[in-house]
Structure formats: structure tokens, C-alpha cells
Structure 1
Amino acid sequence: MPPAAGLVPVRASVWGTIKSRFLRDRTKGAMQPLLSLGVFCLLPVALTLGEGSPQSPRKSVPYHSDNALQFREEGVFNYSTMLLREDLGLLVLGAREAVFALNLSDISQKHSSIKWEVAAKKVKECEDKGKDRETECKNYIRILHTMKNGRMYVCGTNAFDPECGYLDYKNESLTFEETKKDGKGKCPFDPFQRHASVMVDDQLYSATSMNFLGSEPILIRSDQMRTEFKSSWLYEPNFVSMTLVPEGQHSKDGDDDKVYLFFSETAVEFDSYSKVVVPRVARVCKGDRGGERTLQTKWTSFLKTRIDCPVLNSKLPYLIQDSYLWCDATLNWESCVFFAVFTPQLESSDLSAVCAYKMSDISKVFSQGKYKTPVSVETSYVKWVMYNGRVPVPRPGACINNEARNLGIKESRYLPDQTLQFIKDRPLLDQAVEPIEGRPLLLRRGASFTRIVVDQVQAADGHKYHVMFIATEKGTMLKAVNSGKETFNIEEVEIFQPPQPIKIVTLSNAKGQIYAGADSGAAQIPLASCERSSSCVDCVLARDPYCGWDSTEEKCVSVSSSPRKLIQSVTEGDASLCTGSASVKSVGLSGRPGDKLQLSCLSPSNLGKGRWERRGKVFASSPRLQILPDELVILNATADDSGHYRCSSVEHSEAGEFTTAVVDYEVRIESPGSGNDSLTPATRAQTDCPSVAGLRAAVALLVIGLTALLAWIFYEAYPSLPWTKKSQTRRIYEEEAAQTTARSEQAESKLMMSEAHNSNSNNN
């Protein structure tokens, strides 16, 4: 999400401190600007020190058609709504003016599709209101949910006039049922505005905008239960996600199920010169029916609070972009965990974060946290402070539970006006929800995170691990495992080309597949990609709980598909468990004296450091043997450079340091008279480049020339120096001598001409 205009930090940040120091130092004398410039130049260093060094993915997999199964339809764009129908073996995919039914096992296979285009009259009305005909005045499918009877509820923007209807899948064909209905308050008007929705007992909970301008945000239920149009309830929100938590199941307190909403909005509680945006979590009770007189058809249980994801020294809060609720079906709802991705408000930082929150901690804040209340300060100014007065009973914002029923209150309509008025004026809580261990699970520098899904897998050691699949704005999918004490970045795979933001991600446990949607199409990738590891050490160091090394088949395989015990070490990455040595690729190279040879060596891991050995001994980089990240360059090759070279990848893990041989080279430098003038293409880089001795001679001549030039310039610029006066006297003497000689030669010429004339006269 783009940062809001005019955002300023509540407290001084690293940038603010250094900038103010720079401006203050400008007025402190002649030397102070230099000091200020030095401080200003150290700003990137200060920011780097403040933000730390997040871990890169162990492997970066470039785009290839084998990375993912792809689906796209010619002329159709914006594949941003998905619905899993595992009962039908379908992925229902919503795009611009079309809905597709795809094979869940292979989405490149289309079973059916249906168009939902905008009528010409609607397009004209949309265009007359100032919207773009080719982009905004289309029908973008934004809502897809399954009803109890198997039908699908679908809504589209319909050229800024939202509509909803019912879809059915029969005889391998998608069909619309009944007449389409008004979708205002359920589906957004603007196709590019964020929204959230969830279907609960055939009732749609939707967070969107109520009007054409997008200025009336609302959280609504299909029976018209909604929020108040007050800034204290929702203030310029950016809705992210919504989900149901079954807190009423087996509840000792007789509590109700709740719907949780994640979003970002402009904060009303911060004192600053301009707007500050903060991430929020809000909730409502499923059984809420509104009040009798106060809050009629309005939520009596709407409460919200701030959700924190502290990223190093960032003073502005990071904004939530997506959340995913993971629950263990064998445990109570209190064991559920929300995973969320966050990005910075300002473009000065390229860090993204993943934070996790216990459902029990969130519930505790809502059930026990103190409220904030507005107070007037100096006439019209309103400040929000923590409320310390008496709280009515039943507790404002609470669901109807056994405590309320004991007071004779069986529905929200029977709540006392004192409780309802309190929650109407004070829907904001003072305490923020803190992440597990008070810090992010994962920090990543680079492309911003957009979406997240989480799976739990049982590894070969019998333990269960959370594996996070995180989408980015560059069309890549990040895979990371949380081992309890740390999060390890396994790999990052490019699945869309050209790079584009991934707008939706869905996980199917039944198929073991991840589905992602972007503007140009949809993609399907497996949870396990063990074939990318070519050796035992590589497989174990990947620390992927889905994969292990099969010593019998000598390959990295899926844990769930192998009956044998596999070599795996998710927590420590202990590759010493591997026995034997893997085969190493051998390459023969030949060249001539004076050639430049390039020996490539691609490490299987971004975390590995290349190491070169020659004749069994490790050697370091030198002026003639240059070790680069992915290759060894031999300049001005000689006969002594012939021999055996080995490139290995050295990688560290918690269990120690492990070395993997990558490639062996047999280099042979042919003598000029051997008759072998051919070069391997990989080694022929610059065969005509000058030798080191020739280069040194050229440099020496250049230095001599520059010295002579400087001497001549100095001689011409300062003619009055003592040693130049002697030269001038000598020059004058030589000029006078030359003139005297010339006059003598002229006199001799005249005399010879006169004698010749007299001789002629006598002859006559």
C-alpha cells in the first residue's frame, strides 16, 4: 500500500536525528559544513546498523516454465479471487469479467468458464462519472464464497455499480442462477480498493466502502448489521482480511463465535502534526443483533485495537498487508495463531516482516484491556487518553455469555443503554496486541511482501514445523520454516514473468499445492520441491521439513512419499549425517600462453562461499588468479597454470561448517608449437589481450610522456627563472651569429655576381 501523504514520525527517528544535526551544524563556522557532510554521508551506514542484516533465501530459483503450472486466458486480466472446491476437485478463479473452473490437480486444464461483462449502458454511465472506460469501467470479480447448499456466492464491481449473484457447477459447466442483486456494501465500487469478506452460516460479512467515492467505510453483515459512520469507528481504513474464530465451541463461559478483521487506518489517538497510519485488529460477535434504542442495526460488539510488529529501529509502525489463521484441528481455538505480513510506510526502507500472534493473547486484550476515551482540550481539539473511570456491566463490546445471561440479558437488544452508549463512544482499546516473543519471525530486505499462507508439516524427526509461503510484489514465492527458535529462509522461486505483484494466495492441504494469482494469470506450485537438491549435503542443509535424503535411491525425496528412514536435520542443518561422497562434475579446458581463462562455479546455495583448490591446496586470490563470486579468472596464462582445480561450496549451519564439491577442472596450457590452437568456448574470453609485461611498458611510456609534457608547460609558464635566462642568452647569441652569417653570405653572393658581370664584359 502506498504511504499516506504527509506522514511524519511520532518520535525522532534515525533519519530525523541525523538530518537535524546536519541542519544545525551548517551554522557553526567554516569547518562545520565538512563535519556535517561527513555525518550526512554516514546516514546509510546508520540506517543499515539500525535495521540489521536480514537473512537472504538459501536458494534463488530464476523463472522457468517448470517452476509452476500456469493458467491464463487471452484478453483476460486480474486473476485476484480464488475459491477452493476440494469437494468438486476445482479451483474457482475470478478475474476481470470472467469466472473459471480449473482442475485442482493441474490448473492448466480448464473445465468451464463463464463471462460476466458490463452492459453498454453501465459502461457509459461509469465513463460519464469520470472513470476510465478500459480499466475501471469493467466488472472485476471480488467475492467468491461457498454456500451450505453447494452454490457459490459471487460479486463483481460492475463498472462502479456492484452486483452479486449465485453460481452453480453442474455437468462440468458453470451457470448463473436467479437474477443478480444489488451489491452495495458487500462488494467495493472501486476495483483497486482493498476489501475483506467471509461467509458464516450463509451470511456475508464484508468490509468495504458503501458509496461511489469510497468515503463511507463499513463493516456489514448481510442482515444489515453494520458499523457507525464515525471516525472513531473507522477512519480512512485499508481492509486486509477477515476470518471466523469458533470461540463458542466448548466454551466454559458460554461465549460466542467471533469474526476478526485486520486492516490499517489513520490513528485518532496519536498527537502529531499530520496523519499517522497504524495496523489494527477488530472483532464482532456472530450473535450480535444490535441495540433496542441505542445502536439499532449497529454492532454492539465492535471493538478494535492496535496490532504491533516492531521492526528494529523503525519509529513509524509497519502496516499489515495480509493475515492467515492457522489452527490445529486437534486442539482448542486458543492454540490458533495468526501470521501476518507487514511492510514499511515510507519508501526509505525496503524491509518486510512476518509477525505471529497467539489467538489467546488477542482474546485477552479484547476481554480485559482498558479503553481509550476522547477528551476535549483547548476548545475544539480532541485527545484520546486511557479511560480510568467505572466500566458498565455487562462489559461494553463483550458477547452475550453466561455472565450476561445470569443478569437476564439473552440478546444484545436487551443490553442497557449505559453499556451501549459507552461502546458507541469508545470502540478503541488502549493496549496493543504484541507478537510472539515480541519480535518478527522473519525479516527480509528486497521486494515487499503481499500475501501469506502457512502449513504445518511433520518432519522425519517426528516434530511438527510451521512452513510459511510468502508472496511478493515481484512475482516470487518465498518459503521459510520456523523451527521454534529461529526462522530459516529455504528458497525464493520466481513464478511470474514479467515480475508483477501476487494478489492472492491459497493453500490446498488435500492436494499439497499452493495457488497464486496475479494480473497476467494464475500459477500452481507444490509444497515440496525436493528435486532441487542434488546431493545429500545440499538436501540436509536446505532444512526443508518436506524433504529428506534417501540413501538407497541417492536422491532428495518427499518425507510423506518415502517408506524408508530419511536423512534430515531441520533444526540444526547437520550435514555430517551424510555418508559417502557425491559425484563431482569434471570439465577439461585447454588454452594457449597469454590467454584469459574463466572457470565458472555456481554454488548450490546463496549462503555458501566458494573455495578453490589447486593440486590439493587451497589458494587465495592474486593479481593473476582472481577469485570472483561465481568463477575463477586466470590472466596471462602460462604453462605453470596447467593442472587440477576444484571448486567447493563452504556453508555454515548451527551444526558446523560443511563443504560440498561443485566442479573439477583439468586445465592444460598448450605450447605455441604444439599445433593445438583450439580453445574451449568457455575458456576463450579475450585471447588478444595484452600481457602483463606489455601493459607495464605502456604504463612506463605514458608516465615519461606526461613528465615531459609537464616540464614543457612549466618551462613556457616561467621564462624568468635563472636556468631559463641562460637558455635565453644562448638563444640570443645563436640568433645574432646566424644573422651575421647570413649577412656575410649575402655579401659574398653580391661579389660573385659582380665578378661574373665584369668577366662577361671583357669577353664581349
Structure 2
Amino acid sequence: MCFIDYLFNMWSTGGELFTGLYSDYWGRDAAIFRTMNRMAHLRTEPDSERLLKEPKFVGSYMIPDNEDHDDNKVYFFFTEKAVEAETSTHAIYTRVGRVCVNDMGGQRMLVNKWSTFLKTRLVCSVPGRNGIDTHFDELEDVFLLQTRDNKNPVIFGLFNTTSNIFRGYAICVYHMASVRAAFNGPYAHKEGPEYHWALYEGKVPYPRPGSCASKVNGGLYTTTKDYPDEAVHFARSHPLMYQPIKPVHKRPILVKTDGKYNLKQIAVDRVEAEDGQYDVLFIGTDNGIVLKVITIYNQETELMEEVILEELQVFKVNCVTGCTKRLKSVFLQNSTCYTSHIGSSSNLIIYGIFFQQQLYVGTESVVAQVKFHQCDMYGTACADCCLARDPYCAWDGISCSRYYPTGMQAKRRFRRQDVRHGNAAQQCFGQQFIGEVLEKTEERLVYGIEYNSTLLECTPRTLQAKVIWFVQRAHETRKEEVKTDDRIIKMDLGLLFLKLHRLDAGTYFCQTVEHSIVHTVRKITLEIVEEERVDEMFSKDYEEEIPHKMPCPMQSNIPQVSKPWYKEFLQLIGYSNFQRVEEYCEKVWCTDKKRKKLKISPSKWKYANPQEKKARIRPEHYRLPRNTADS
């Protein structure tokens, strides 16, 4: 099992428990322990800043180097204050620490202490001009993606920056070959307090400090207690390696600096697609959202393309307390079974068994199960399915469905999928591409009151699509692109008018553009109700007593004394649209569900600032539409 928390980290192998924690109440004595079973209890030396300096433990794993189990090592991932940093005394570095599983400590020095502990820096940075890189130095989470070779898993690290200038996150990928090369490389060395850290060029004793007592290392020593004092002393004074571990492609695969999310957890699934292999990243945020992302490396430009497949709102805001559940853990497993820590509540630790094709997300008190893929949400056309670029999904000739590697899917159904390029025109030739399914446009009618705000809602089917708004004014045949300014704002949810003008009336077209595919998603007719006519209607309406006015039509078997009050809106827009307006008002104000909750109360819907009309219309004359009262 593997238990991960901010100050607590453990790994169990062969009955031995390896733990990274603070052992005292005040949080000053940080150490890596080995306890339980047959081996001697070991720990790092106390009060040794060269070994651990205010660390935050993040993850730990046992990763074998070869078939010799005596050479197995446990790797710890943590952040700490950097002793070798010369630019700032408060610099934070991410480290990978390593100990041998069969370490027994020294015979005359480092008794019951680790004699094989080594550490090096884990680098995640964006190359900059003049060799100045932007570093992401604080590790938030780490994930090991197992491959067919258990000796060479792929390491994914989620980092944030400690910079005071900006806030950002990055994900870097590392191969075990780079990790082993760093630990097999030169040691870092510093003679005295006035000397700089440099490459150690002196003689390295035998057996190599940090190596395990195993057959692959010569077999001369069966335990570290037999190591010469020279080797043990060197390991004690040189725990830091000179060469850092650098990521694949020498840069992050994903960088987020927009401030939209705070990224906290990561899990990765490797997927076989029609055009290759992709790593799907599931990234947990601190506001209950999980991002489903793939990244595509372009060898010609040496750049990474980020494709956000989904934004999964797993936990919503608690309306009672106003708090959002914070994600503690994000786990998945694509093999048969996997047990791991999900979250904790007080002193209770929650564990789960996870099966294939499921993602589990946990907070302090809740665990949610999420599907890896929801192919049917990408629409009912080949182009929509292809443009989604989801490696889990493909167009099978009938619908957007789960993609299976060759041999696992019925041969009678052909597949259309292009994750790398999303070329719908080529993939969907002759399919439901420019047919009636894709061209079907949703139409809506929206009424807005002059000088009030309104939102014309429209969201694209894929997060990569670019949204362009066009408007066609009354009595005009041509369309023109909507120009945004301080009054008209284009948002993720649609087009927001902060203050409506009469000239805003017209038909609005929400178009999405992606890979040269243009699709009109929604057609919205916006009609503006003039402010003066609203004043006249409300003044006339309240000359009669409220009890004699019914806000909604009465049941058919009960005679009506007067016509429903909302029909007076007909005089605002003209009787020619009687049927359309009546259907609209029935839908908005007079549903059976809202009829039970109806309350006559002062309205605030009429004006953005009710105080502006205080002198002209008394507050008690405002009428509140029922959908506003319930919201």
C-alpha cells in the first residue's frame, strides 16, 4: 500500500514499513524510518540539515533496478529547503531520495542509521532566453505509471512555482534511466562554509557509497555492516548528488499559469488509439473539478500541444456552508485491482479497491466514482466525435463509442479517429459530416429589458473550439461579427450584455470554429422591451388591487375573473406574436412546480439598480417573476 499526505509518507515491502514523517509534536524532527518485521529499525540522522531540511514528503515507491531483490531500493519524493542554493537562503527544491531496502546501517558509525541514503534534485523548468529557465520547484503530487517492465515505470510530477511574481503549475515526465544516471553520477561536494558546492573529483571508495549489499555489486559484502568505515563515512558526508534529474524533452508537458485552477492531484492512464499511444492526465483541483487532458509533442517545433478533453465537476459547492469540497486524492487503475489511500476524516483512513476503467476521487468525507470516458456526450455526428480528439472514443459508423484496439472490436464496424490532428474533413468523408445532424441549429427566443443585463448562453461541444458571435439586425440581410467592449463581454458560458440598448435587438448566431469546421450551434433572437413601456404597464397594473390579479392562468374548471396579468406584456411587443409570447411566459412563469411556490413580493428584477427609479415607482409596486424568486 502507499499512504500519501503532506507530512506523512510510507511504503510497505516484504513486511518492512518505510516511512517519511515528522516524529515530534513541534514538527522539527523530520526523518525517514524503517520499522516492523525482521530488519533493524533505521532512521536518518537527527539534526542533520545535509540529509533533510524541513522536508514535505509527497510520495514513495519501491522500484527494482534488476532481478536481484537484494538490490531493491525505495525512492522518496519530497521538497525541502536547498542547502546548495546560493542565490537565496529560502530556496525550495524538489528531491528524490533513495535508500536500499536491505540497509542494516554501519558497524561503528551510522549505527541504526541509513548508510545508503542519497538524494538529488528533480528539475521541472521551462527553458528561457539566455539560458535563464523558469523553475517550478515545489512538488504537489507524483504518480508512477506502470509499464510492461516493472523496472522502468514512467514518473509524472505535478509542480507549482514558489515565485512571488506569478502563480503557475507544470507537469513534468521522467524516465527511470535519467533517475539512475543521476544516482550513478558524480557526488556534490563542499569543503567549508565559505566554499561553493561543486563536483567532487576525488577518489570514490569501494563499495560505491549508496550502493546495496548485493550480488550485482560484486557480492563481497552480504550486509552494509561489513562496509569499510571509509565508504560509510563518505556516504555520511556526501549524501547529495551533483547531477539533477531532468524531464523528458527537457521541458514540461503541461504548463498552467492562467490562475483559473489550483492543481493538486494527478493520475495518468496510458491509452492505445488508432494513431498511437497517449497518456491521459486526470488532474484534481482544489475546487472540486477534475481536468481530463492529453498533451501531444511536435518533434518539428519541439512544442507541446495541450488538449483539454473534459472539465469534470465532481464535487459542487455546498449551498449551506458556502464551501467547496477540496479534492484530497485522485486515483485510477487500469489493471485488475489496486488498493490505495483515498482520503481521511479525523483519524479515519479510507481505503478503496479500484478496478479497470474507473477513476476515483476523494475528499475528507466523500469518495466519487467517475468514468474514464463518456463518448456519447460528443454529439451524434462523425465530425463532432473526431474533433473531440478523445483517445477513448471513435466514430464507428453509427455513433461515437468506446474505442478498442485492433482485434477487440467487431470488424464489421469501421472506426474513424484522429487524436493527433483532429482532421474531421478527412476522417468523416461520406459520413454524417455536413449532413443534417451537424447542421441542425438550436433556436431560442430571449426577451431583455432595456438598460438591464442579460446573457445569451452558448457553449461549444469541445473545449478546443473557438466561439465567434454574429448578429443580424432587424430588416437587414447581412450578418456582422459582434464587437465586444466594456458593455458586451464574451464569456465561457455565452455573450453577456451588462446594459442592454434598443439597438442590441436582433438575431444572434453562435458559431464554433475548429480545424476549419464551422458550425452554428445556436440561433438566438433577442427582443428588447423598452423601459418606458414597462413603466406604463406596471403603473396601470397596480391601479387595481393585487388579490384580483392572478399571476398565472387558473384551472380550466374555475372561471377567471380577469385575464392572466403576464399577458399584459403583449402590449409591449405587439399582438402579432400572441401565441409565441404566451407559450414563452407559460414556460418561464407558470409551471406547476413553481405555481406552488408563488409569492407576491417586491421585485428587484426590473432594474439593475432599483434606487434609480425610486422617485417614479414605489418599491411595493414591483412584481417578481416566479423563476427569479426561486433562484
Gapped regions of structure 1 (runs ≥ 5): 1-82, 84-142, 145-186, 690-764
In 2: Cα distance, 1:219 partner to 1:231 partner:
13
> How many Å apart are 1:277 and its aligned residue?
1.6
- Say whether the 8 Å CA contact 2:468–2:481 is kept in structure 1: no
The equivalent of 1:342 in structure 2 is: 159
Cα deviation for residue 453 of structure 1 reads 1.3
Q: Which residue of 1 aligns with 2:443?
A: 587
| CA–CA distance in structure 1, aligned partners of residues 208 and 285 of structure 2 | 41
- Residue 332 and residue 586 in structure 1: after superposition, are their counterparts in 2 closer, same or farther (change >3 A)? closer
Amino acid at match of 1:466: D
* CA 305–599 in structure 1, closer or farther in 2 if over 3 Å, else same: closer
Residues 671-722 of structure 1, C-alpha deviations (whole Å, 9 max, x = no match): 97655467446999x9999xxxxxxxxxxxxxxxxxxxxxxxxxxxxxxxxx
Matched, 1:664 2:481: no
1:419-457 superposed Cα distances (whole Å, 9 cap, x missing partner): 110001111111111111111110113322212111111
Q: CA offsets per residue over residues 546-566 of structure 1, 9 Å max, x none?
A: 1122331x3444547963333
List structure 1 runs of 4+ shifted beyond 6 angstroms: 590-598, 622-627, 666-673, 686-689
Partner of 2:383, secondary structure, is: helix
- Provide Cα deviations, 1:602-654, integer angstroms capped at 9, x if missing partner: 3234432224375985422369997845238784269xx77x76432112xxx
Q: Does 1:571 align with 2:424?
A: no
Cα distance in 2 between the residues matched to 1:317 and 1:628? 32
1:178-207 deviations in Å (ceiling 9; x for gaps): xxxxxxxxx9xxxx8522111111211111
1:259 matched to which residue of 2? 74
For residue 180 of structure 2, the aligned residue among 338, 343, 363 is 363
Distance in 1 (CA, whole Å) between partners of 2:311 and 2:446 is 37
Q: Evaluate the alpha carbon distance shift between residue 284 and residue 626 of structure 1 in structure 2; reply closer, same or farther with a 3 A threshold.
A: closer
1:281 alignment partner AA: V
Secondary structure of the residue aligned to 1:221 is strand
Trace 1:101-140 onto structure 2 (pairs within 5 A). none
How far did residue 300 of structure 1 move? 1.9
Return the alpha-carbon distance in structure 1 between the equivalents of residues 402 and 447 of structure 2.
41
**Paired AA for residue 506 in structure 1:** F
1:456-495 equivalences under 5 Å are 456-461=270-275, 463-485=276-298, 486=304, 487-495=306-314
**Cα separation, partners in 2 of 1:567 and 1:623, compared to 1, 3 Å:** closer
- Distance across 2 between alignment mates of 1:483 and 1:316: 22
**Cα distance in 2, alignment partners of residues 595 and 317 from structure 1:** 47
**Equivalent position of 2:481 in the other structure:** 620
Gaps of 5+ in 2: 299-303, 318-323, 335-354, 529-569, 590-603, 608-631
Alignment counterpart, residue 374 of structure 1, candidates 190, 200, 208: 190
**Map of 2:230 onto structure 1:** 418
| CA deviation after TM superposition for structure 1 residue 289, in Å | 1.9
CA distance in 2, matches of 1:476, 1:569: 27
Q: Is 1:434 the counterpart of 2:246 in the alignment?
A: yes
| Structure showing greater relative contact order (alpha-carbon pairs closer than 8 Å, 6 or more residues apart) | 1
What's the counterpart of residue 146 of structure 2? 327
Q: Distance in 1 between matches of 2:606 and 2:393?
A: 49
SS of 1:375's equivalent in the other structure is coil
Contact 2:123 2:135 in 1 (8 A): no
Question: For residue 290 of structure 1, what is the aligned residue in structure 2?
Answer: 105
Which amino acid counterpart does residue 507 of structure 1 have in structure 2?
Answer: L
Relative to 1, partners in 2 of residues 1:673 and 1:439: Cα closer, same or farther, differing over 3 Å?
closer
Q: For residues 328 and 450 of structure 2, what CA distance do their matches in structure 1 show?
A: 54
What is the identity, as a one-letter code, of the residue corresponding to 2:171?
V
Question: How much identity, in percent, do the aligned residues show?
Answer: 28
Helix, strand or coil at the partner of 1:376: coil
1:560-595, CA deviations, whole angstroms, 9 ceiling, x for partnerless residues?
A: 796333322111111212333325244254879999
Separation of aligned partners in 2, 1:592 and 1:398: 74
Native 8 Å contact 2:62 2:74 kept in 1: yes
Structure-2 change in CA distance of 1:216 and 1:601 (3 Å): closer
**TM-score (normalizing by structure 2):** 0.68
Does the Cα contact within 8 Å between 2:333 and 2:358 map onto a contact in 1? yes
Root-mean-square deviation (CA, aligned residues, Å) is 3.7
Correspondence for 1:647 among 510, 516, 539: 510
Which has the larger helix fraction? 1
User: What amino acid sits opposite 2:274 in the alignment?
Assistant: A
**Structure 2 residue corresponding to 1:603, chosen from 454, 460, 467:** 460
State the structure with more CA Rg: 1
Structure 1 SS opposite 2:197: strand
SS of residue in 1 equivalent to 2:112: coil
CA contact (8 A) 2:387 2:462 kept: no
Q: 2:357 and 2:455 mapped to 1: Cα distance? A: 43
Q: Work out whether 1:504 is the aligned partner of 2:353.
A: no
4, 25, 31: which one aligns with 1:212? 25
Deviations 1:386-440 (A, max 9, x none): 322111122111123446435x223222211111100011111111111111111
Q: Is the 8 A contact 1:247 1:255 kept in 2?
A: no
Q: For 1:209, give the aligned amino acid.
A: Y
* CA separation of 1:632 and 1:351: change in aligned 2, threshold 3 A: closer
Cα 1:592–1:442 change in 2 (3 A) is closer
Amino acid at match of 1:495: V
1:475: Cα distance to partner?
Answer: 2.0
- Structure 1 distance, partners of 2:155, 2:115, is 25
- Cα distance between partner residues in 1 of 2:113 and 2:448: 85
In structure 1, the residue matched to 2:627 is none
8 A Cα contact 2:211 2:217, kept in partner: no
Other structure's SS at 1:602 match: coil
Contact 1:534 1:556 in 2 (8 A): no
